[in-house]
Amino acid sequence: MLRDITIGQYFPGDSVIHRLDPRFKLIITFIYIIMLFAGDRFICLGVGAVFTLIAIFLSRIPLKMFVKSVKPLLPFLLITAILNLFFVTSGDILFKWKFIKITDEAVSISIFMFVRIMLLIMGSSLLTYTTSPITLTDAIERLLSPLKKIKVPVHELAMMMSIALRFIPTLIEETDKIMSAQKARGAEIDSGSFMTRAKNMISILVPLFISSFRRADELATAMECRCYRGGEGRTRLRQLKSAPRDYIALAIAIVFWVINIIIG
């Protein structure tokens, strides 16, 4: 059951969007976020929506995957929208009952915020759907590398990220195994009272921690044996090369941004 969770869900493919240089993809996503948050008219969101839909179409990933990405956050989004509905008091009153007042502005702000966040989630999902986590980590490391000059441990953070990514499937598998083993000893994990379940979680967490420490220790030795000594002087097998299409994509994003500013 744990195996069904896939962090950062990546759908391998070779669409134009998949093939874009991850650094450019990150920058474009950044522009897109600014675009969504800069304008405060519905038409601005419309421009963002058009941009997202074109990109989704080009990625050849089914639209329903994007609906799925929004789903887990839906309750949170709805609560925010409802709060906005009650707490925005400016504008003409549409509805009044005892102390509850709903104004036309409240309705429009609620909808606006809701759509904005939806678009934000869909756009960033597009980034993770079309870029493998390891490539993304790599792109972040390279984009942030100027920060090394002011002593930000960019390489170390990226190495931590990529090792975490490497070990997530291993740890999920291990958790599954330990859970089965404790269930075989009669531990109630999916049923029973809250207290028994909490207590039984210990029987899973302790072995998991111990084995993670052992793994970390062995991995550190193995890395040392392969001459790891930090980011200094490292070369990379993964070469990131930008192609004309990356610049074109960037240009399109900028055009959308400018349109957004003008009409906003």
Partner 1 sequence: MKNIIEIENLHFSYPADEGEKPVEVLKGINLEIKEGEFMAVLGHNGSGKSTLAKHINGILIPTSGTVTVDGISTADEEKIFDLRCRAGMVFQNPDNQIVSSVVEEDVAFALENLGVPYEEMRKRVDNALKDVNMYDYRHHSPAQLSGGQKQRIAIAGIIAMKPKCIILDEPTAMLDPQGRKEVMAVIRRMNREHGITIVLITHYMDEAAQCDRVVVMDKGNIILDDTPRAVFSHVEQVKEIGLDVPQATELAWELRKAGYDVPQDIITEDECAEAIKRLFERE
Partner 2 sequence: MAILETQELTYVYSQGSPFQKTAVDHVNLKIDEGEMVGVMGHTGSGKSTLIQHFNGLLRPTSGKVLLDGEDIWADKNKIRDVRFKVGLVFQYPEYQIFEETVYKDIAFGPKNMGLDEAEIKRRILETAHDLGLKEELLERSPFELSGGQKRRVAIAGVMAMNPRVLILDEPTAGLDPAGRDKILGHIKNYHERTKNTILIVSHSMEDIAGFADKILVMNKAKLFCYDETEKVFARADEISQIGLDVPQITKVFMKLKEQGLDFGKDVYTMDYAKKLLLKKLAERGGV
Contact residue for partner 2 among 1, 5, 150, 184 (CB under 8 A): 184
Closest separation in Å from C-beta 231 to partner 1: 10
> Residues 7, 78, 206, 248: which binds partner 2 (CB under 8 A)?
206
- Residue 113 in contact with partner 2, rule: CB under 8 A: no
Select 55 or 138, whichever has its Cβ closest to partner 1.
Answer: 138
Rg of the Cα atoms in the chain:
24
Please identify, among the stretches 34-42, 45-53, 178-186, 229-237, the one whose residues bind partner 2 according to the rule CB under 8 A. 178-186
Dihedral sign of CA atoms 141, 144, 146, 150 in order: negative
Q: Does 38 bind partner 2 (CB under 8 A)?
A: no
Shortest reach from residue 61's CB to partner 2, in Å? 16
Q: Residue 93's beta-bridge partner residues?
A: 103
Q: Which of 64, 185, 229, 236 binds partner 2 (CB under 8 A)?
A: 185
CB of residue 129 to partner 1, shortest distance in Å: 17
CB atoms within 10 A of CB 219: 13
161 in contact with partner 1 (CB under 8 A): no
Handedness of CA 84, 90, 91, 92 (dihedral sign): positive
Determine if 133 is a binding residue for partner 1 (CB under 8 A).
Answer: yes
Of 180, 223, 242, 248, the one binding partner 2 (CB under 8 A) is 180
CA-to-CA separations, 133 to 8, 54, 72, 108, 162, in angstroms, rounded: 7, 23, 20, 37, 8
Contact region with partner 2 (CB under 8 A), list: 95-103, 170-178, 227-235, 237-245? 170-178
Nearest to residue 53, comparing CAs of 113, 74, 108, 61? 61
Of 141, 186, 165, 188, the C-alpha closest to 22 is: 141
Give, as ranges, the residues between 187 and 226 that touch partner 1 (CB under 8 A).
Answer: 214-215, 218-219, 221-226
8 A C-beta contact, residue 84 and residue 76: no
Interface with partner 1 includes 5 (CB under 8 A)? no
- Report the distance separating Cα 146 and Cα 141, nearest Å: 10
Cα angle value 32/159/246 (rounded, 5°): 35
Interacting residues toward partner 1 by CB under 8 A = 133-134, 162-163, 165-166, 169-170, 173, 214-215, 218-219, 221-229, 233-239
